[in-house]
Amino acid sequence: MDRTVKLGVVGLGGRGNGLLDTLFCIKNVEIKMICDLYEDRVEKGLEKINSDETRKAWNCTGTTNYHEVIANPEVEAVVVFTSWTSHIEIAVATMKAGKRVAMEVGGATSIENCWKLVHTSEDTGVPCMLLENCCYGRYEMAVLNMIKQGVFGEIIHCEGGYEHDLRDEISCGIENRHYRYDHYRFRNGENYPTHELGPIAKHLNINRGNRMLSLVSMASKSRGLHDWIVRNKGEEDPTAQTVFNQGDVVTTMIKCANGETISLRLDTSLPRPYSRGGRVQGTRGIWMEINNSIYLEGVSPKAHEWEPFDPYFEKYEHPLWVKYQKDGLVGGHDGMDYLVLSAFVESVARQTPPPIDVYDAAAWMCITTLSEQSIALGSAPVAIPDFTDGRWMTREPAQDTIYRLDEIPQVTE
Amino acid sequence: MDRTVKLGVVGLGGRGNGLLDTLFCIKNVEIKMICDLYEDRVEKGLEKINSDETRKAWNCTGTTNYHEVIANPEVEAVVVFTSWTSHIEIAVATMKAGKRVAMEVGGATSIENCWKLVHTSEDTGVPCMLLENCCYGRYEMAVLNMIKQGVFGEIIHCEGGYEHDLRDEISCGIENRHYRYDHYRFRNGENYPTHELGPIAKHLNINRGNRMLSLVSMASKSRGLHDWIVRNKGEEDPTAQTVFNQGDVVTTMIKCANGETISLRLDTSLPRPYSRGGRVQGTRGIWMEINNSIYLEGVSPKAHEWEPFDPYFEKYEHPLWVKYQKDGLVGGHDGMDYLVLSAFVESVARQTPPPIDVYDAAAWMCITTLSEQSIALGSAPVAIPDFTDGRWMTREPAQDTIYRLDEIPQVTE
């Protein structure tokens, strides 16, 4: 097992609180300091940590000032679970202090901040990881495995979405201190691209032999939140007067240097079942998530007919998931959270490059800003920066470096 | 039953030949003249007609010059089943002769030709119908029925596609005298939008209280046809040297005047099962074709969970389909061909406006040209013309005029 890694945790809202539980499951982690802007969240977090004798021995402390976490000599690396707009600021400050950092996902509000993230990592020599858990999804990884083995032929087109009915979370943002409310009120764009784009970027070797060139976004009208609020909070509720700028469905198309297209959908303010809307299409076959099906030319039993995807796990389950299932799944979101956090902890323990690095983070996060720009310009195409400064042409191929989680870290009993 | 309608038929390739059989099923139709550029197809068509005593009595004649069909005094109206680029030319000539015309589907090659179609119809006072059979699809019509009854709430976003593996048809176009080969070799765009866009346009009241404002298209690289040819026709086949300009997957986004977005996919040169990729999404629910499912807030039994769509036919089957199923389905493509041709025949017999009119035809066909333009301009947004010249704001709502097929015409025994 790897040596113990001593972490600081910044951000203890709904998501941070859940990920705290997941961190408890990673045996070689000690949490030395936690932080949130809200005192009550810090207290609740400390209580939770100290409710267990082993964890109490960590002597974890709390603060409402993230700079104290970074400065704490007991803290070796920091994980950032705060609201979207503070990720880059905290990550930059952590790297400047010479400590590794991992950020929860969320889109960027400016291209300049993405460059700042990249340049800080390059200047300090400190890696920064994006905690995109869906890169560790069982389906996403099996499909990646199949792509690397050539099962789909040459990859031509990928799709994905964040299709999740969040009307109550967004609409009740003020009372629940949730940041999404403001983003939906004021902004209009693909505000949460990475759950689908992260896996797709790995599928397409983005930043390692390929890159995203340009995008176009289009937003529908905004009706879902108002409709929900009037029916659920009442016409007299102050939020019934809110005009939300965010369109209900935002579609984004991305063109890649090697000719592939990517289509993304943000769909979070209308009633619907959850989906990440995955689709991978090559010269020899197609996978689709929504009907959990696959068609492989010459392999599928009937021409022009879908077959169920799940039997393909037998042959193409990603090795990481083979091991992981043997050990037993842990933590939230079908085990993805545990895997992505473990990958960060492992990279800290071994001082190896993180599997989702600062170039990935910048390239994926900038999509939000560019999507807003495209919509503001009437769905004009906008260029996607090359954050690798040309090195994408020669960086080692993805299959050797992603998911470098050499073994599943042991789980706390 | 309506009076007998005497038709001329132009175009007897694969599609025309099939639709000839469908026309035979409509009891009040007599075919007086048939036409194709290829003599052998004309002969084959005449043989087929004359193989039956009743049809032989029509005294149908043949020609390779469509002008003779139009000029034939026995011919009251013309149906055009030719290749894409000749539809408008033949339709315009027919209207100028004072005869009604219906065209098979296909995209336009210029905006000017779409205007020509519209202006010819307006100047001559002769209606022109587009034979978009998918407007008569059972699912599309049930969903339309549900939309009109408010089941989905306010409609926000629609999707559809022409997702059909046509690699053999396209690649063997030269030997089979099929026009798709040239289109895929030379053009790059959404070349076949109407199967999905037609029903969506009816769902969204396009040209009747709404209109399409602008679109953006993006094309993937082109690999599927070459890959298929090399493996199926061999590297020595001359077509193995062909460079196809047409991208394998073309995604198009359309913005409507009332704020809805439409997303289209052309996906015809990669291996895959057939799909029209339907999706209709409103403030109260969502329908998706690919998983044949629906979710309606407060109606579906489980929150955030799909339920099968088919049971909804019981309540929401379109009245036309209720009758049609009672009488028994006829003809190709699950009966849609019969219904759309019957609608044209009925509109001729009764001298009523056709259910899919010249404004629909121009608006839907122009998407192909505009998609090519957008792709040529690097996915720039391009404006969609208003072929109604502002009348879309006041034209009567669609529910009263579409699918005006008052009764299912009787079927030949």
- Summarised one tens digit per residue, pLDDT across range B43-89 is 999 999 999 999 999 999 999 999 999 999 999 999 999 999 999 99
Residues of chain A found within 8 Å of residue B286, distances taken between Cβ atoms: 270-272
Contact A91, A365 (CB under 8 A): no
B157 and chain A in contact, CB less than 8 A = yes
* Angstroms from B90 CA to nearest CA on chain A: 35
**For the purposes of burial, counting CB atoms within 10 Å of the CB of A76, is it exposed (0-12), middle (13-18) or buried (19 or more)?**
middle
A70 sits in which H/E element: helix A66-71
* Angstroms from B96 CA to nearest CA on chain A: 40
Cα–Cα dist B399/B361, whole Å: 18
Question: What b-and-e string marks burial along B277-307, b requiring 16 or more CB atoms within 10 Å of the CB?
Answer: bbbbbbbbbbbbbbbebbbbbeebeeeeebb
Residues of chain A found within 8 Å of residue B255, distances taken between Cβ atoms: 218, 379
Confidence of residue A397 (pLDDT cuts 50, 70, 90): low
Which one-letter DSSP state was computed for residue A135? Answer: G
Q: What pTM was computed for the model? A: 0.95
Of A270, A286, A380, the CB nearest to B270: A286
The pLDDT mean for chain A works out to: 94
Cα–Cα dist A245/A221, whole Å: 9
- Average pLDDT, stretch A25-37? 96
- Average pLDDT, stretch B339-354? 93
Of B214, B261, B270, the CB nearest to A283: B270
The alpha carbon dihedral of B382, B387, B390, B391 has a sign of: negative
Tell me if A271 and B297 make a contact (CB, 8 A cut-off): yes
Contact A360, A207 (CB under 8 A): yes
Q: How many Cβ atoms from other residues are within 10 Å of residue A406's Cβ?
A: 12
- Average pLDDT, stretch A310-325? 92
The answer to which of A81-90, A346-355, B111-120 has the lowest mean pLDDT is A346-355
**Tell me, what's the pLDDT at B82?**
97
Judge whether residue B133 has pLDDT over 70: yes
Which one-letter DSSP state was computed for residue A392? Answer: G
Q: How do residues A284-296 score in pLDDT, each as one tens digit?
A: 999 999 999 999 9
**Tell me, what's the pLDDT at B326?**
86
Nearest CA in chain B to A224: B283
B282 and chain A in contact, CB less than 8 A = yes
**Tell me, what's the pLDDT at B331?**
72
B176 Rama sector, left if φ>0, alpha if ψ -120 to 50, beta otherwise: alpha
Q: How many Cβ atoms from other residues are within 10 Å of residue A58's Cβ?
A: 18
Cα–Cα dist B83/B13, whole Å: 8
DSSP B130-198: E--GGGG-HHHHHHHHHHHTTTT-SEEEEEEEEE---HHHHHTTTTTT-THHHHHHH--S----HHHHH
Cα–Cα dist B252/B367, whole Å: 9
A205 Rama sector, left if φ>0, alpha if ψ -120 to 50, beta otherwise: left
* Angstroms from A231 CA to nearest CA on chain B: 11
Q: How far is C-alpha B315 from the chain's CA centre?
A: 27
Task: Find which of A151, A154, A169, A221 to mutate to test the B interface (most B CBs within 10 Å of its CB).
Answer: A221
Q: How far is C-alpha B1 from the chain's CA centre?
A: 26
Contact A145, A318 (CB under 8 A): yes
Tell me if B270 and A156 make a contact (CB, 8 A cut-off): yes
Judge whether residue A369 has pLDDT over 90: yes
- Average pLDDT, stretch A199-206? 96
* Angstroms from A158 CA to nearest CA on chain B: 10
**Tell me, what's the pLDDT at B400?**
40
The answer to which of A167-176, A391-400, B47-56 has the lowest mean pLDDT is A391-400
Q: At what angle do helices A111-124 and A358-376 cross, to 10 degrees?
A: 170
Residues of chain A found within 8 Å of residue B219, distances taken between Cβ atoms: 261
**Tell me, what's the pLDDT at A238?**
94
Half-sphere exposure of B352 (CA within 13 A, CB side): 18
Q: At what angle do helices A39-50 and A14-24 cross, to 10 degrees?
A: 20
The answer to which of A135-149, A180-194, B297-311, B327-341 has the lowest mean pLDDT is B327-341
**Tell me, what's the pLDDT at B177?**
86
- Residues 221 to 260 of B: which have CB under 8 A from any A CB? 221, 223-224, 227, 247-249, 251, 253, 255, 258-260
**Tell me, what's the pLDDT at B412?**
47
Residue type, A56: K
Of B153, B270, B306, the CB nearest to A281: B270
**Tell me, what's the pLDDT at A401?**
42
Nearest CA in chain A to B299: A271
Residues of chain B found within 8 Å of residue A284, distances taken between Cβ atoms: 227, 271
Contact A253, B218 (CB under 8 A): yes
Half-sphere exposure of A344 (CA within 13 A, CB side): 33
Residue B44, token pair as written in the block: 């084959």
Q: Which of B81, B60, B134, B149 is nearest to B343 (CA)?
A: B134
Task: Find which of A228, A292, A297, A375 to mutate to test the B interface (most B CBs within 10 Å of its CB).
Answer: A297
B267 and chain A in contact, CB less than 8 A = yes
- Average pLDDT, stretch B388-400? 80
Nearest CA in chain B to A258: B221
Q: At what angle do helices B14-24 and B39-50 cross, to 10 degrees?
A: 20
Which one-letter DSSP state was computed for residue B84? Answer: G
The pLDDT mean for chain B works out to: 94
B119 sits in which H/E element: helix B111-124
Tell me if A221 and B258 make a contact (CB, 8 A cut-off): yes
B122 sits in which H/E element: helix B111-124
Tell me if A270 and B156 make a contact (CB, 8 A cut-off): yes
Cβ contacts from A onto B, under 8 A: 147
Residue A88, token pair as written in the block: 């880059």
Cα–Cα dist A254/A287, whole Å: 19
The answer to which of A175-179, B145-149, B400-404 has the lowest mean pLDDT is B400-404
Who has greater pLDDT, B407 or A224?
A224
Confidence of residue B181 (pLDDT cuts 50, 70, 90): very high
Please, which residues bridge with residue A219 across strands?
A: A250
Of B224, B267, B273, the CB nearest to A295: B273
Residues of chain A found within 8 Å of residue B156, distances taken between Cβ atoms: 220-221, 223-224, 248-249, 270
Tell me if A272 and B281 make a contact (CB, 8 A cut-off): yes
Question: What b-and-e string marks burial along B33-66, b requiring 16 or more CB atoms within 10 Å of the CB?
Answer: bbbbbeeebbebbbebbeeeeebeebebbbbeeb
Half-sphere exposure of A242 (CA within 13 A, CB side): 29
Residues of chain B found within 8 Å of residue A227, distances taken between Cβ atoms: 153-154, 283-284
Give me the phi and psi of A315, to 5 degrees please.
Answer: -95, -30
Cα–Cα dist A363/A343, whole Å: 20
Confidence of residue A333 (pLDDT cuts 50, 70, 90): confident
Cα–Cα dist A229/A222, whole Å: 13
- Average pLDDT, stretch B15-40? 96
Tell me if A157 and B220 make a contact (CB, 8 A cut-off): yes
Which one-letter DSSP state was computed for residue A407? Answer: S
A160 and chain B in contact, CB less than 8 A = no
Cα–Cα dist B241/B234, whole Å: 11
Structure-token match 């050499």, residue found: A406
Q: What is the 3-state secondary structure (H, E, C) of B296-355?
A: ECCCCCCCCCCEECHHHHHHHCCHHHHHHHHHCCCCCHHHHHHHHHHHHHHHHHHCCCCC
User: Which residues make Cβ contacts (< 8 Å) with residue A389, sequence separation at least 6?
Assistant: none
**Tell me, what's the pLDDT at A408?**
47
Contact A352, A358 (CB under 8 A): no
**Tell me, what's the pLDDT at B413?**
42
B113 Rama sector, left if φ>0, alpha if ψ -120 to 50, beta otherwise: alpha
- Residues 166 to 225 of A: which have CB under 8 A from any B CB? 214, 216, 218-221, 223-224
Judge whether residue B409 has pLDDT over 50: no
In angstroms and rounded to an integer, the radius of gyration of the C-alpha atoms of chain A is: 21
- Average pLDDT, stretch A169-192? 94
Q: How do residues B284-342 score in pLDDT, each as one tens digit?
A: 999 999 999 999 999 999 999 999 999 999 999 998 898 888 887 777 678 899 999 99
- Residues 23 to 52 of B: which have CB under 8 A from any A CB? none
A305 and chain B in contact, CB less than 8 A = yes
Q: Is A224 helix (H, G, I), strand (E, B) or coil?
A: helix
In angstroms and rounded to an integer, the radius of gyration of the C-alpha atoms of chain B is: 21
Q: Is A323 helix (H, G, I), strand (E, B) or coil?
A: helix
Task: Find which of B253, B279, B293 to mutate to test the A interface (most A CBs within 10 Å of its CB).
Answer: B253
* Angstroms from B303 CA to nearest CA on chain A: 8
Cα–Cα dist A348/A77, whole Å: 8
Q: Is B213 helix (H, G, I), strand (E, B) or coil?
A: strand
Confidence of residue B397 (pLDDT cuts 50, 70, 90): low
Contact B225, B350 (CB under 8 A): no
End-to-end CA distance of chain B: 15
Cα–Cα dist B255/A340, whole Å: 38
Residues of chain A found within 8 Å of residue B269, distances taken between Cβ atoms: none
Judge whether residue A410 has pLDDT over 60: no
Complex ipTM, two decimals?
Answer: 0.95
Contact B158, B382 (CB under 8 A): no
**Tell me, what's the pLDDT at A328?**
79
Within A260-318, where are the H helices? 313-316
